[in-house]
Structure 1
Amino acid sequence: MDKLQAMLVFSKVVEAGSFVGAAERLNLSTTAVSRYVAELEGQLGVRLLQRTTRRLHLTDLGQLYYHRTLHLLDEMNELESELLQETQQPAGRLRLSVSIPFGARQLAPALARFRQRYPHIRVEVVASDRKLDLIEEGLDLALRITNTLDGNMIARPISPIRTLICASPDYLARRGTPLTPDDLRQHDCLIYNGIPEPNQWSFVCEGGEVYKVAVTGPLEADNGDILVGAALAGMGITRSPSFMIGEALAEGRLVPLLSGYHMPQLTLSVLYPSRQYLPAKVRRMIDFLLEEWGGEVPPWEACWLQPPDGP
């Protein structure tokens, strides 16, 4: 007896509610369907179905076996789907959501490399600083920088996102360098007002406690690029995610401050709706993003954390 085929026939009998209905769905004779179920019961040594002249009823063991059978058949179908995808060149449109600053600075150049590897995948980027619903927006996946994720989505952490405090050499030459978080009270701070408590800059102490410092300054904005631009021009001290300022730090146009103190850290994650029957194009993109940015030190930090070349 073909055990897998017998399990499939049994599941169709339950779904159809009769041997005749299952036979029609499977394009088999009613006799063949009845024989598969009888042989399956004989091999298992239990009765799965109670047969009456009017309808079929699952026994308690039949109910258990039916649900386990559905799970196994789903696993088999998913495995076959994955194997088929591995032999095919992934293609089609892939819709991806990302925040505007991260999309412009990090995703855009990475997509050029992704295109070289998978030329038949067309990527549509939905750049927004709003939290979009993947299902409602028809998105395949999303990149999020947060520690609070939607419980209905599958989330794969990619890399840590550190927040750094920095200023231009010109500003520091004029105003001096803060040595402790409390020194920030005496400086011009550039404030991102797109978050709760924008004028409170938080630091994590050695014991894990959060210490907040009240800051003020000549500029507030709901866009990080404006604040980084102002810091580069010497207007004040900015608090920015490392992916926005890595190049400026590497080139010395910005100087990291208070390196002995740490600010709360976020995580870059890729979100997608389900693991089941994940299209090849989505699976390839997830693997690519993990390859590009995975690890404790992401590339936007590695460029300025590397020690200088020797003489």
Structure 2
Amino acid sequence: MKLPDFEAWAIFAAVVEHRSFSGAAEALGVSKATVSKAITRLEQRLGTALFHRTSRRLALTESGRGLAERAQRILSEGEAAEEAAFESASAPAGLVRIAAPLTFGISHLGPALAEFMTLHPGIRVDLRLSDAFVDIVGEGIDVAIRIAELPDSSLRARRLGPVSTFVVGAPAYFERAGRPRHPADLATHACFIYTNTSSPDVWRFRKAGGEEAAVRVDGPVRTDNGDAMLPALCAGLGVARLPDFLVNKHIAAGTLEAVLNDWSGGAAGLHLMTPPGTLRPARVEALIEFLSERLKRLCVEAA
């Protein structure tokens, strides 16, 4: 039996993560020639090209895309196995890559990470904040926060709690345009649309008794960040459907008013996502346990 070329698989994963041979070489502390030889060796062994190479661009082939996740798993589990062997002799240390939605990351994750790094001074953090979909495996993310209804996936997910959504607008807007009594009424309102969903122009609702409604909405603002809507909302220019952590303070202060409160906007939840596999470095396990406890409390407080 011929053993797999584990070194070549790990180098392939590094090239995918850093999107270049030179970037992978620098990250791994080896020469670019070593990286190139390992990729060529793996391609010859597999009998297929893993990358399309030009002088300006490096792109995965169809075969390469299909194997990238497995390669990342080999590298991650190898790193985790080595770290587990040393864990009893040292505190968790090293780099953890985290991805999270922009507003949630600034308001809630940032303060939590400050506390976490105080407890674990040997851990460094690479925090990437964006409301756009992040390829956790392809970009080498260790932990991701997602606020959504999750599709089936090979990723590991831990649901930390529910996230409620509210249809909100300024009281002055509702005095002028009328308060909707049924989701269908929103079709005639100036709706601010959050675009980072699969169907941003259709808002779906469910009532406790089981009644469902879907309405096509339109309005003067479209954006991929909910926080950016707030000034125009508070100025009375329209309505939006936003998560509780964005609007609770505004509702309590009276600058925004929630309507259609007997309708639910869906089963969105706060999730902690990690790549496939069961072996994880001690630094990642420490972060997962810390965030799980901290963010679960946040969901309870927001409920």
Corresponding position of 1:110: 112
Cα deviation, residue 197, structure 1: 3.6
* 1:244 maps to which of 236, 243, 246: 246
Name the structure 1 match of 2:127.
Answer: 125
Contact 2:208 2:262 in 1 (8 A): no
State the partner residue of 2:180.
Answer: 178
Amino acid at match of 1:291: E
Alignment partners' CA distance in 2, 1:183 and 1:189: 11
With normalisation by structure 2, the TM-score equals 0.65
1:246 Cα deviation from its structure 2 partner: 2.5
Once residues 97 and 188 of structure 2 are traced to their aligned partners in structure 1, the CA distance between those partners, rounded to angstroms, is 46
Structure 1 residue 228 corresponds to structure 2 residue 230: yes
Q: Residue 294 of structure 2: which of 292, 295, 299 is its match? A: 292
| Equivalent residue, structure 1, for 2:19 | none
Secondary structure of 2:132's counterpart equals coil
Flag structure 2 segments of 5+ consecutive residues without an equivalent: 4-79
Tell me how far apart the structure 1 counterparts of residues 253 and 88 of structure 2 sit (CA, whole Å): 42
Are residues 260 and 86 of structure 1, via their aligned partners in 2, closer, same or farther at CA, if it must alter by over 3 Å? farther
Alignment length (residue pairs): 227
2:132–2:196 CA contact under 8 A, matched in 1 = no
SS in structure 2 at match of 1:284: helix
Q: Which runs of 4+ in 1 moved over 4 A?
A: 78-84
TM-superposed CA distance for 1:166, in Å, is 0.8
1:154 alignment partner, one of 136, 139, 156: 156
TM-score of the pair, normalised by structure 1: 0.63
Give the equivalent residue in structure 1 for 2:262. 260
Give the corresponding residue for 2:216.
Answer: 214
The higher relative CO (CA closer than 8 Å, separation ≥ 6) is in: 2
1:205 equivalent in structure 2 = 207
Deviation at 1:206, TM superposition (A): 3.5
Structure 2 counterpart of 1:268, one-letter code: L
3-state SS, counterpart of residue 292 of structure 1: helix
CA 1:154–1:215: 2 relative to 1, 3 Å: closer
The alignment's C-alpha RMSD in Å is 2.9
Deviations 1:235-275 (A, max 9, x none): 11111122222222233322221111111121221122245
The Cα of 1:171 is off from its aligned counterpart by: 2.0
- 1:15 Cα deviation from its structure 2 partner: 9.9
User: Structure 1 residue 189 and structure 2 residue 196: aligned?
Assistant: no
Partners of 1:86 and 1:209 lie apart in 2 by 55
Q: What are the ranges of 5 or more consecutive residues in structure 1 without an aligned counterpart?
A: 1-13, 17-77, 303-311
Checking the alignment, whether the CA contact within 8 Å between 1:96 and 1:124 is kept in structure 2 is: yes
Q: Percent identity?
A: 34
